[in-house]
Structure 1
């Protein structure tokens, strides 16, 4: 005797929530690469992330309701889709909101240096900056105060070596980190470079200054973002990473 069990109808709500979650994930993931490869400008990429951050909780609620309505015994299929959509939308929203929380916990600064009293100036990299980027001039006392409060560990590195030896190691470190070397002057003890971030392809400028000290040599760095008010701590992390690799090379 043929099976008379009626086929379960697919839940449109579950399917729609799942598709919406996929779209949100695509917006969040592709916003960076699309900006990195010049397809969209940064304001548009930021709007895509905002849409994903706001839409994530909404889609999560839709998927949760769909999962409840499509539970066993309700005559609908699509519960798995709804649960996958719920998980995906929460992950997307959670990731973006974690970036927001990070930004809110840090000062709105994007220019970090080991020597706020006498920050190394940018010169060679200025020609690479497009109109509308952040002012390359250092922000002065107020910026220094905010940096000290947020990143008290950022300080010059003093080494018992000659400035020439420190310069060679600094240049090797920058190359190891994959920075684009724009200018290097061993006699002047200066290196300028550009570091491109992985996700969005932001171009951040870096200047390294090597100077003489009674102990041997002093290594100072300055790292600044070309766009954006807050760097989410990226420039401080870049300086820390430089010094960590610098010490490993030595």
Structure 2
């Protein structure tokens, strides 16, 4: 690993010292430590590091001080890569960090429990310092799960999505069957399943097929 100037911000002194020792042994230059967001911002102005490792929850309220500092750092110190550490998976915090990036500097989100895997942690630090985006696998799982929960089409199978896509193109069941090389009867079964999974109950005029297409178009828009 090439020598990189790093600052560490965490109110846990033992963790800070441990990370400092670990990173120093790995060839990085730890140029400062901070116990809260204000100290971190002061350090950044004084030391001009390439990477900041930041605990999301710090004094005084232990809510999102680290994240708020990261948002400021992105604006005030755009050349600094950031690796945020958290004791728990916090999807909203991670999204705020990731969605605001411009892709020019590295950014990472890692659970503190991953620090115990020294080789993996050092590799993550190296990648973030080099400009990569690194996301904890547990967060990836939660992000996918959240997307599925918020996606009205999330319950559909891949084949049902194919059928719905062709419905949106205006194809009849027969046309869909020809396009997908399946029988019209099979298409009808898929359509019934789609309408059931989308919770589109029958009505007097029963425009469920149209309503399903509208849901699809709203999702892909």
Q: Smaller-chain TM-score range?
A: under 0.3
- Give the TM-score normalised by the residue count of structure 2: 0.26
Q: Which structure ranks higher in relative contact order (CA pairs < 8 Å, sequence separation ≥ 6)?
A: 1
Greater share of strand residues, 1 or 2?
1
Greater share of helix residues, 1 or 2?
2
